[in-house]
Amino acid sequence: MDENQDSVPLMQRILDNPFILLFLGVSFPAVLYLIWGIMEIASIPLAN
């Protein structure tokens, strides 16, 4: 099975690897939601 691994299309190989998916599934929301959001909150100015 492993010897014909090369013929498997790239996207299928990504979908077949749970750990790549885990990495993407944690880093996407971490960057787009958590880090972006924390940066916005951190940059709120002081009231006069």
List of residues contacting other proteins (CB under 8 A): 1, 4, 7-9, 11-12, 15-16, 18-19, 21-22, 24-26, 28-30, 32-34, 36-38, 40-41, 44-48
Query: Rounded distance, CA 30 to CA 18, Å?
Result: 18
Least distance (Å) between residue 4 CB and other proteins: 8
Query: Rounded distance, CA 44 to CA 15, Å?
Result: 40
Least distance (Å) between residue 13 CB and other proteins: 9
Q: Which residues lie closer than 8 Å to 8 by C-beta, 6 or more apart?
A: 16
Least distance (Å) between residue 19 CB and other proteins: 8
